[in-house]
A and B are shown apart, each in its own frame.
Chain A
Amino acid sequence: MIGHLTCKPGSSQANKTGSWRTETKPKFLQKNCIACRMCIYTCPEGIISGEGKNTFKCDYAYCKGCGNCAAICPKKDIEMISEMEEGDQK
Chain B
Amino acid sequence: MKQFVEGSHAIAEIVKRCRPGVVSAYPITPQTHIVEGLAQMVADKELNAQFVNVESEHSAASVVLGAQATGVRTYTATSSQGLLLMAEVVFNIAGLRLPVVMTTANRAVSAPINIWNDQQDVMTVRDSGWVLLFAETIQEAVDLHLQAYRIGEDPRVMLPVMVNMDGFILTHGMEVVDMPSQEEVDKFVTPYSTTYKLDVDNPLTMGYLADPDYYIEIRYMVQQTHQELLTIIPEVAAQFKRQFKRGEGNGLIEGYHLEDAEQVFVAMGSVCGTIRDSVDEFRSKGKKAGLLKIASYRPFPKNEIVKALSRAREVAVVDKSISLGGFGPLYTDLSAAVSSMGAKAPKVSGFVIGLGGRDITLQSIQEVYECLSGKQVDCEFIGLKKELLAEAK
Q: Which residues of A contact B (CB under 8 A)?
A: 1-9
Answer whether residue B158 sits at the interface, using C-beta atoms and an 8 A cutoff. Answer: yes
Per the bound structure, the CA–CA distance linking A12 and B205 in Å amounts to 11
Nearest residue (CB) in A for B206 is A6
Nearest residue (CB) in B for A9 is B203
Instruction: Report the contact-size class of chain B (Cβ under 8 Å from the partner).
Output: 20 to 34
Chain B residues 131-158 with CB under 8 Å of chain A are 155-156, 158
The stretch that binds A, out of B163-171, B174-182, B217-225, B241-249, is: B217-225
Contact B204 A8 (CB under 8 A): yes
Contact A6 B156 (CB under 8 A): no
Answer whether residue B228 sits at the interface, using C-beta atoms and an 8 A cutoff. Answer: yes
Contact B214 A6 (CB under 8 A): no
Give chain B residues whose Cβ lies under 8 Å from the Cβ of A8: 204-205
Nearest residue (CB) in A for B227 is A1
| 5 shortest interchain CB distances as A-B pairs | A1-B224, A6-B204, A7-B205, A1-B221, A9-B203
Q: Looking at the complex, which one of A5, A7, A9 makes contact with B97 (CB distance below 8 Å)?
A: A5
Give chain B residues whose Cβ lies under 8 Å from the Cβ of A6: 196, 204-206, 208
Per the bound structure, the CA–CA distance linking A3 and B156 in Å amounts to 11
Instruction: Describe A's contact surface by its main secondary structure.
Output: loop
Per the bound structure, the CA–CA distance linking A6 and B69 in Å amounts to 12
Contact B224 A7 (CB under 8 A): no
Give chain B residues whose Cβ lies under 8 Å from the Cβ of A1: 220-221, 224-225, 228
Give chain A residues whose Cβ lies under 8 Å from the Cβ of B210: 4
Give chain B residues whose Cβ lies under 8 Å from the Cβ of A2: 97, 155-156, 158, 221, 225
Give chain B residues whose Cβ lies under 8 Å from the Cβ of A7: 204-205, 208
Give chain B residues whose Cβ lies under 8 Å from the Cβ of A3: 221
Nearest residue (CB) in A for B208 is A7
Per the bound structure, the CA–CA distance linking A4 and B221 in Å amounts to 9
Contact A5 B156 (CB under 8 A): no
Contact A4 B203 (CB under 8 A): no
Give chain A residues whose Cβ lies under 8 Å from the Cβ of B224: 1
Per the bound structure, the CA–CA distance linking A7 and B217 in Å amounts to 16
Nearest residue (CB) in A for B224 is A1
Per the bound structure, the CA–CA distance linking A79 and B210 in Å amounts to 38
Contact B206 A5 (CB under 8 A): yes
Per the bound structure, the CA–CA distance linking A4 and B96 in Å amounts to 10
Per the bound structure, the CA–CA distance linking A3 and B220 in Å amounts to 11
Nearest residue (CB) in A for B96 is A5
Per the bound structure, the CA–CA distance linking A1 and B210 in Å amounts to 18
